[in-house]
Structure 1
Amino acid sequence: MKKGTPLRLTIEDLSFPAQGLARCDDRLFQIDGFFPGETVAGSFGGSKKRRARLYRPVLVEARADALKPACEHFGPCGGCISQHLPLATQRSFKHRVVLELLKQADLDLPAEILLYGLSQKYDYRNKMEFNFGNVELDGPLTLGMYQKNHGFNVINTTGCRLVDQDMRRIHNYTIDYFRRLGIPFYRWSSREGVLRHLVIRHAKFGRELMVILVTTTQQPIDLSEWVEGLKKLPLRDKLVSVWHMENDSIANIVQSDRMNLLDGKETITEFIHGLRFEITPQSFFQTNSASAELLYSRVLDKMVDVDLALDLYSGTGTITQLIAKKAKRVIGVELVEEAVQAASASARKNQVGNVKFIAGDVKDIVADFTGKVDLIVVDPPRAGLIKAVDHIRRIAPARIIYVSCNPKTLAIDLAQMTEYTIEQLELIDLFPNTPHVETVVLMSRVKD
């Protein structure tokens, strides 16, 4: 088969995270963002070891249960991939691909593995990182998500339905403002330009908003007028914190060389299960507040007879303080210093006195830890536990609760913990319309 040959393929199966699988001429095509029962068209993009690529795939025949997406950007935008599917269908596919991944790791899994999730499909995210860019060369400035299958093209997501109306209004005001000023966006290829990202954080239960503008320092920029315009927006909730983050790194990520508070206070306040949490610009907090309550309830339900618990990758101390309700003592460990400070402050405000927070790399802290531990709770980043897994095994807690956002690295970590049996495993859908899903695993140490 020659490159460029037109093809029409029907998706037959699915692999993680959301790669539709189709076969043609003894080749397996892996096509991002398409689902079993859909038919796609494109051109042959070449193959390697019998795995083939379909170039510029487009949907030509939908599933029988397909819905009309609520978002005007669905399709070209790479932010969502499954808005057109009912929630039940989305969740059945998530359940299927995660279980397949775990079975491939030859794990001894429980007989029953359930998936939990709330009914809210739209407007649920409490944090969004929008990119500055354009859709076409020398086109107008855009702000939003990357275009599907088009490299670094940025769709101007004025009507994004992953976020609520307040966050959309901030987005739309910001793109209009900087278009008028003509300030260039940062181009990764030439490493020139100013505007990089707009980050919006929203405490849904606390009803507070934070805005962070990320730029390089290649050009002086007066943001006072932009801030005053933000403060005049007709928002449902209150804008209480505006930051300017300076970032001259090469990497295409939101990271800080320097933080400048432009207006308001340093944090926003969120409430989960009746506890108060201070969210800083860079601290980790689950991006769906309502579903986070469901997730943490599932964690709490798995706790019994705990004297000392360790909460690793503790972020702003959410899990640490919640599990303190069912443990005599809890130690939270987190790399980000500002998150540890915020966690300590919120614990004092919540009058949770049986917790302690340590700032440092998890693998280094647990490497030096001694003493009896009843429970370790881990909620690591997408890379998983990596080197920390061996130290956790050495500590040998009676039980481990593993909260994972990446089933691939979860499978790798679980396969190494041969001293433990998997008692419970369940999925929590915090991220409708996307391929992402949380997994909660309860493990018990096998008695010698």
Structure 2
Amino acid sequence: MKRRDVIEFEVDKMEFGGTSVSRYGNRDIHMKGGITGQKVKAAVKRTKSGKADVKMLELLENSPIETETPCKHFNECGGCSILSVPYEKQLEIKERQVMDLFLQQDLFGFKFLGIQGSPQNKLYRNKMEYTFGDEMKDGPLTLGLHKKGRHIDIMTVDGCFLVDQDFIKVLTSTVEFFNEKELPYYRTVNHKGYLRNLVVRKGINTNELMVNIVTSSQVDFNMNEYKDMLLNLDTEAELVSILHTINDGLADAVNCDELRVLHGRDYIHEEVLGLRFRVSPFSFFQTNTKGAEELYTIAREFVGDHNDKVVFDLYSGTGTIGQVMAKAAKKVYGIEIIEEAVVAANENAKLNGLTNCEFVAGDVAKTVKNLKDKPDLIIVDPPRPGVHKDAVRDISNFGAKEIVYISCNPKTLVLDLVEFKKYGYELEKVKCMDMFPNTPHVETIVKLIKK
């Protein structure tokens, strides 16, 4: 076997994160994507002793476990990779994948509480970020998600199962509107063009809707007509925020150089477990509201009785978890390096009448030294790369008796747990929460006890 060879094989084991490992001759074949039992044609990208990395070229035959009817974009869109698998089977697959990661790091002796499914496995997202482009060179304007494996081609996902009809209405009306205006979309290759992104956010429990159109400053276009068009849409939710973000950054990401409020206000509200949160266009908020309520309930159960405890909420973001814990805590300190998130966290604490919450901007290790209290309990909810080794050391040195670690990436979680073990923390219990149905991702909640 050599580079550029084309091979055919049956997909064997699905690994966490959306990859698969199969056996071909005397080699382990590693591939992005693939569902156990599928027969595929793939091109060899690179080979090593006993191993090869390949790219799928064609799906030859579906797997016997693919018994669900997917959306019309499935296998073309880069979004839901396991939508064709029944939801109960998806949960089994994710549970096994997470346990495999723990076993690979020799993490044993804890109570595993299984996986909890999302209250909704379709139409569950409260935020979508769409990109302007075209599906084929010099084709009509499209607005939606990237095609699978393509960095440029964009398909208008008007049949998406992830979001409700309000999202679809805004999406299709927006692409029709700008197609008529014949405005150019922004090309990341030469950084020329105008239309960049459309971001839609919805308060699932408050029924408030936000639409944020993102453009460069290269065209002087009056957005009032677009605003009026949106206001005339028959959306189920109340359209309380229409925004125009100017982004002249070179990165293929939604950044803000200037924010213009076209209608209403620059935020929506969302409610989680009886608490109310102000969600701005760029603040982090869990994309599955009903799932977030389940996730935070599990975290609260892991924390247990904490009436007289000082809680440190590290990597606190906009303070959601810290505020959920605050009602039954002596004091909550939230530490987050992004200043805008800290401002939002303190505003939300005030909105909820929580006087025992304090959110501070800064690096975790340095900021904690200035706090007058020592933690009884630490909650850690880091970004996907996990916790840096130095931060694990610093967190451990705080001396808390209990740590609850919430992770969106069990691959980095298990590595961090090995480090915490070196500082005397033992795994007590683990539970998975599926926040991302039909995708390869899952949240994992862990409780650690100081020996």
Instruction: State whether TM-score is above 0.5.
Output: yes
SS of equivalent to 1:89: helix
Superposed, 1:104-119 pairs within 5 Å as: 104-119=104-119
For the residues of structure 2 that align with 1:51 and 1:193, how far apart are their CA atoms?
Answer: 44
Match of 2:120 in 1: 120
Per mean C-alpha deviation after superposition, the further-off stretch among 246-255 and 78-87 is 246-255
Q: Deviations over 1:190-233 (max 9, x none)?
A: 12222221111110001001111222222223211111111111
The answer for unaligned runs of 5 or more in structure 1 is none
Return the match for 1:439 from 440, 444, 451: 444
Tell me if structure 1 keeps the 8 A contact 2:119–2:290: no
Match of 1:99 in 2: 99
Match of 1:129 in 2: 129
Task: Name the Cα RMSD after superposition.
Answer: 1.9
Amino acid at match of 1:106: D
Q: CA deviation at 1:440?
A: 0.4
Tell me if structure 2 keeps the 8 A contact 1:33–1:82: no
SS of equivalent to 1:266: coil
For the residues of structure 2 that align with 1:438 and 1:68, how far apart are their CA atoms?
Answer: 24
Return the match for 1:401 from 375, 386, 404: 404
Q: Deviations over 1:397-429 (max 9, x none)?
A: 111111110112212221111220111111000
SS of equivalent to 2:230: helix
Tell me if structure 2 keeps the 8 A contact 1:280–1:339: no
Match of 1:372 in 2: 374
Superposed, 1:173-322 pairs within 5 Å as: 173-303=173-303, 304-305=305-306, 306-322=308-324
Return the match for 1:423 from 408, 428, 433: 428
For the residues of structure 1 that align with 2:261 and 2:202, how far apart are their CA atoms?
Answer: 17
- 1:109 to 1:163, Cα distance in 2 relative to 1, 3 A: farther
Q: Deviations over 1:247-275 (max 9, x none)?
A: 22222222222222221112111111111
- 1:133 to 1:363, Cα distance in 2 relative to 1, 3 A: farther
Q: Deviations over 1:64-95 (max 9, x none)?
A: 23224341111100011011001111111111
Tell me if structure 2 keeps the 8 A contact 1:403–1:438: yes
Number of paired residues?
446
Tell me if structure 1 keeps the 8 A contact 2:198–2:214: yes
SS of equivalent to 1:8: strand
Q: Deviations over 1:97-125 (max 9, x none)?
A: 22222222232351434101135221000
Q: CA deviation at 1:366?
A: 3.1
For the residues of structure 2 that align with 1:165 and 1:81, how far apart are their CA atoms?
Answer: 21
The answer for unaligned runs of 5 or more in structure 2 is none
Q: CA deviation at 1:56?
A: 4.0
Amino acid at match of 1:344: N
Match of 2:350 in 1: 348
- 1:417 to 1:324, Cα distance in 2 relative to 1, 3 A: same
For the residues of structure 1 that align with 2:394 and 2:194, how far apart are their CA atoms?
Answer: 43
SS of equivalent to 1:392: helix
Superposed, 1:24-103 pairs within 5 Å as: 24-103=24-103
- 1:143 to 1:107, Cα distance in 2 relative to 1, 3 A: same
State the identity %: 38
Match of 2:395 in 1: 392
For the residues of structure 2 that align with 1:391 and 1:369, how far apart are their CA atoms?
Answer: 14
Runs of 4+ in 1 over 6 A off after TM superposition: none
Tell me if structure 2 keeps the 8 A contact 1:77–1:146: yes
Amino acid at match of 1:252: D
TM-score normalised to structure 1 length: 0.94
For the residues of structure 2 that align with 1:51 and 1:73, how far apart are their CA atoms?
Answer: 32
Match of 2:156 in 1: 156
Q: Deviations over 1:341-395 (max 9, x none)?
A: 3332332232222111223343442354454211111111112122432221121
Match of 1:411 in 2: 414
For the residues of structure 2 that align with 1:392 and 1:435, how far apart are their CA atoms?
Answer: 30
2:168 is equivalent to residue 168 of structure 1: yes
For the residues of structure 2 that align with 1:106 and 1:260, how far apart are their CA atoms?
Answer: 52
Superposed, 1:325-340 pairs within 5 Å as: 325-340=327-342
